[in-house]
Chains A and B, each alone.
Chain A
Amino acid sequence: MCYRMLFSVFVMLGFSGFSTAQTVVIIVNSENPISSVSSEDLRNIFTADKSVWEEGNSIQLVDWKIDSSIRERFYSTILRKTPAIVRRGWVQKIVVGNIHPPSVLSSEEEIVQYVATHRWAIAYVEKKRMPTSVKIIALDGQMPDDPSYLLK
C-alpha cells in the first residue's frame, strides 16, 4: 500500500515536471520601444547577423551558460543550430570584426537583472513574474499566452 502510494507520487511528480515545462519568453528593457520581434530577427540577433536595433542602437545580447536546457531548447527551436555551431559562428564574427559578443550568464536572476539595467539588452527566460523594468515582447506577433506561441 505504502509502495503504491509512493509510486503514484513519483508518477505525478514526473508528469507534472514534464507537463509544466515553462514557456520561454523574450524580454527586453522596458525602455526599449520594440514590442515584437520576428523569429528570423531573433535568429539573426543570436547568430550575430544583426547587431543593431532599428533605431540604430547596438543590441546587448545576453545568453545562457553552456549546457543549460533552456538554451538548447531555444537554439533548436529558433536558431535551428547546435550551440557548438553557433559558438563557432560567434568566434568567426569576433575574429573578423569588432562585434559586441553576448554576455553569458548562469542564472535567470542575473539575466533579468542584466536586461533590467541595460536599455538595449535582449534575452530569453522562462516565463515568471517579471520586474517592471523588464518587458516581455511578442514573438512573430504572438504573446506567450497565445496557443500557437513558438516557444511554449
Chain B
Amino acid sequence: MLTHPLHSIRTKFTFFSLLIIVPILFFFIIYYPGQLSEIFEQELLNRYQEQAKAASFGLAVGMATENYNLIGEGIAQVKKNKELVYIIILDTMDDVIALDNRKQHMPDLGSLKNLGPIQVESSMVRLRQPMIYESKQLGLLLLGFSTNEMDSQLGEIRRLSYMTGSFCIVIIALLIWIVTSKLTGPLVKIAGAAASFSKDEEYEIIEVKTNDEIGVLSHSFNTMVEKLKNRNMALLENKRFSEDLLATIPSALLTVDDSFRIISVNNSFCQLFQMLPDAVEGHALQQVLENRSFPSDIIQSILCGKEFYNVEIRIPEKETLK
C-alpha cells in the first residue's frame, strides 16, 4: 500500500513533467516577450520612418506641383498615428511653413533641425526627413511621436505573455494529470487488488479496457489471481480431505514440522491425551509432552524418531474435550 499519496506514479509523473515543461514555458514567457518587444519597437520605428518618407515625398511633390491632394494623403497617413505629437514643416530658410502640435508639447526648433534622421528618447521618437523633389531640397519635415503608446503596447504584450504562459502551465498541468490518471488508472487498480489480496485474500478481477502494456499486465494479473484462487481452493480441498481422513483414523496422530512443532492433531489424539487442538497446535512437541508428564526417555525417543511398542502411559486429566 502507498504510504503517502505523493508517492504515487501519477504525482511523480506530473511533478517531473512540470519540472521539464515549466522552465521551458518560463523561458518563453520571459525571453520571448523581450525579443518580441525589440521586434515590435523596430517595426514601429521602421513604420514611422516609412510614413515620414512617404509624407515628405508627398509634401515635396505636392508643394512643387501644387498637388494638394498628395500633401493631404501624406499628412493623413502620418496623422493616423495616435502617438503623433507634432508635425513641423520647415522651408529651406528654416522658417516654419506649417505646424501642428497635437499635445502642446512644443519642441525646440533649433535643436530639432540638427537632429539625425531618427532619435529615440525616453518619451519621444523624433524624425527629421528632408523634402526633396527632383534632387532639390524644398524643406524639412519634422515629426514627433510619443513613446507612451508604444510603452503601453509593449506592456500589453508582456502582460499577455505572462497571462498566456500561466494559463498554459495550468492547462498543461491539468492535461498531464488527466493523461497520467488515464495511464496509471489500471496500475492503481492492480495495486489495490494486490493489496487487498495480500491483506484479506480477496480475489479481485480487474476490468481491462486497454490493449497496451498496462492492459497486458492487468490481464496477466487477472490470470494469476484466477490460478491462485483455483490452487488455493484445491489446497483447501486437500486440507479438508486430510483433516477428514485424520479425524476418522482411530489411532492418535499428530503432524509436526522440521522443528517438531505440532501442526495438527486428530480427534483420537485429542481424546487420548485429553487436550484441545488449540492447546497443542503450534506448540513444540517436547513442551506438550512434558506438560503431559511423559517420561523423559520416551520424549527423547519420540524426538529422535525411535519406534517403541507396548508402552503404557498414564495421563492425568487436565482438560476435557468438548
Q: Which residues of A contact B (CB under 8 A)?
A: 63, 65-66, 87-88, 90-92, 94-96, 101-104
Contact A66 B66 (CB under 8 A): yes
User: Cβ of A91 and Cβ of B67 under 8 Å apart?
Assistant: no
User: Which of B66, B75, B87 has the most chain A CB within a 10 Å cutoff?
Assistant: B66
Residue from A90, A95, A103 whose CB has the most chain B CB atoms within 10 Å: A95
A104 proximity list for chain B (CB < 8 A): 65-68
User: B69 touching A91 by the CB < 8 A rule?
Assistant: no
Q: Would B66 and A95 count as touching, CB distance under 8 A?
A: no
Check B170 for interface membership: any CB of A closer than 8 A. no
Closest 4 CB pairs of A and B: A101-B68, A95-B98, A92-B98, A104-B66
A65 to chain B, nearest CB (A): 7
B112 → chain A closest CB, angstroms: 16
Distance A91 CA – B96 CA, assembled complex (angstroms): 11
User: Please, which residues of chain A bring their CB within 8 A of the CB of B89?
Assistant: 91, 95
The smallest beta-carbon distance between A59 and chain B, in angstroms, is 14
A96 and B69: CB pair below 8 A?
no
Whether B71 sits at the interface, judged by CB under 8 Å, is yes
Give residues in B with beta carbon < 8 Å to A: 59, 62-63, 65-69, 71-72, 75, 87, 89, 91, 97-100
A16 to chain B, nearest CB (A): 32
Given contacts A94-B75, A95-B87, contact A88 B66 (CB under 8 A): no
Bound complex: CA A91 to CA B65 (Å): 13
Are A87 and B63 in touch, CB under 8 angstroms? Answer: yes
* Interchain CA distance A19-B140 in the complex, whole Å: 44
- Please give, as numbers and ranges, the residues of chain A lying within 8 Å of B69 by CB-CB distance: 101, 103
Residue ID in chain B nearest A48 by CB atoms: B68
Q: Given A95-B75, A101-B71, do A87 and B66 touch, yes or no (CB 8 Å)?
A: yes
A102 to B72 CA separation, bound complex (whole angstroms): 11
The answer for the CA separation of A103 and B72 in the assembled complex, in Å, is 12
B71 neighbours in A (Cβ, 8 Å):
91, 94-95, 101
A94 contact from B65, B68, B91, Cβ within 8 A: B68
Min C-beta distance of B91 to chain A, whole Å: 8
Query: Which residues on the B side are within 8 Å of A63 (C-beta)?
Result: 66
Q: List 6 A-B contacts (CB under 8 A).
A: A87-B66, A91-B62, A91-B63, A95-B89, A95-B98, A101-B69
Q: Are B65 and A66 in contact (CB under 8 A)?
A: yes
The reply to whether A94 and B72 form a contact with Cβ atoms under 8 Å apart is yes
Residues of A within 8 A of B75 (CB): 94-95
Q: List B contacts of A66 (CB < 8 A).
A: 65-66
A102 with B68, Cβ < 8 A, contacts A87-B63, A91-B59 known: yes
Contact of B98 with A88 in the complex, beta carbons under 8 Å = yes
Q: Among B62, B67, B98, which residue has its beta carbon within 8 angstroms of that of A96?
A: B98
Q: A65-B66, A91-B63, A91-B71 are in contact. List 12 more A-B contacts (CB 8 A).
A: A66-B66, A87-B66, A90-B68, A91-B89, A91-B97, A94-B71, A95-B89, A95-B99, A101-B71, A101-B72, A104-B66, A104-B68
Residues of A within 8 A of B68 (CB): 90-91, 94, 101-102, 104
CB distance from B157 to the nearest CB of A (A): 32
Contacts of B99 in A (CB 8 A): 92, 95-96
Q: Find chain B residues with CB under 8 A from A96 CB.
A: 98-100
Among B59, B65, B68, find the residue whose CB has the most chain A CB atoms closer than 10 A: B68
Q: Closest Cβ of chain A: how far from B33's Cβ, in Å? A: 37
Q: Chain A: which residue is nearest B59 at the CB level?
A: A91
The complex places the Cα of A104 from the Cα of B87 at a distance, in Å, of: 25
A47 to B135, CA, bound (A): 29
Minimum distance in angstroms from B81 CB to a CB of chain A: 14
B98 neighbours in A (Cβ, 8 Å): 88, 91-92, 94-96
Nearest Cβ on chain B to A92's Cβ, whole angstroms: 4
Question: Chain B contacts of A103 at CB under 8 A?
Answer: 69
Q: How far is the CB of A77 from chain B (nearest CB, A)?
A: 19
Decide if B97 touches A92 in the complex (CB within 8 Å).
yes
The CA-CA distance from A92 to B56 in the complex, in Å, is 14
User: Nearest Cβ distance between residue A57 and chain B, in whole angstroms?
Assistant: 20
